Each structure stands twice: as C-alpha cells, then as structure tokens.
Amino acid sequence: MISHKLVAYFKSKNWWFDEETDAYKVALLELGISLESDIAAFFLHAEDGPNFIGSKGEILQLCWHIINTDYLENSESLKKSLGLPTCLILLTSSEGGGGYFYNKDTCGVLLIELGKPP
C-alpha cells in the first residue's frame, strides 16, 4: 500500500489524481502489471508530466510513455540486447549506462548499471 504521507505529498503538489483513466489501465496491463499492485496504484494516480524528477534522477511516468512513445519496443529491445529477464520493467531512461527497473516477480526495484550483473 502506498503510504498516506506519500499520497499527501503528491496531493500537495497537485500530482495526485483520484480518478483512474482506462488508457492508463490498459497501458499497465500491456506490461503485465496487476492493477491491484502498489506500482499500478502509483502510476494510475500520480503524474507530474512524462517524468518525475528527483534528487536521484528521473523516473518515467510509465503509462504516459507507453501511450505516447515507443517505450514498449525500446524497453524490450534493451532487455533483449542486455540479456535481461522479461520480468524487469524499465523505470528510467537507459541513457547514462544503466537505470532503475521494477521486477514484476518480486515487486522490488533494482538499479542495474552496465558492466554489473543484475
């Protein structure tokens, strides 16, 4: 469950939307993400444009990128070329030699850098 503190923070920034859109639900289902998961709750409700910018870099708003870019093709190509398992979902731009990935099997987030095994 997403913490109330996090939801309150996003609401204070006008980045939290109570209503879910069908297009965003379909986008998450295309990735094989359960709509009952915490990550789905986050991406169905939180949005500050195409990316969330923080002190550790940028996190993609997955739904936005799936709908408006070649995210699905590009992320599958990246995983295939790096030999990464299909359970990983890219959460950041892969520029800069690595990125954060969500693991659908464990519901965890990993930082994978080129030259370092996952």
Interatomic CA distance for residues 86 and 57, integer angstroms: 24
Which domains can be identified in the chain, with CATH numbers?
A: 4-113 (3.40.1580)
- The confidence score (pLDDT) of residue 81 equals 87
pLDDT in tens, 27-75: 999 999 999 999 999 999 999 889 988 777 789 999 999 999 999 999 9
- The confidence score (pLDDT) of residue 56 equals 72
Q: What's the Cα-to-Cα distance from 118 to each of 9, 17, 79, 84, 90, rounded to whole Å?
A: 32, 34, 12, 8, 13
Q: What's the Cα-to-Cα distance from 68 to each of 6, 33, 62, 115, rounded to whole Å?
A: 26, 18, 10, 30
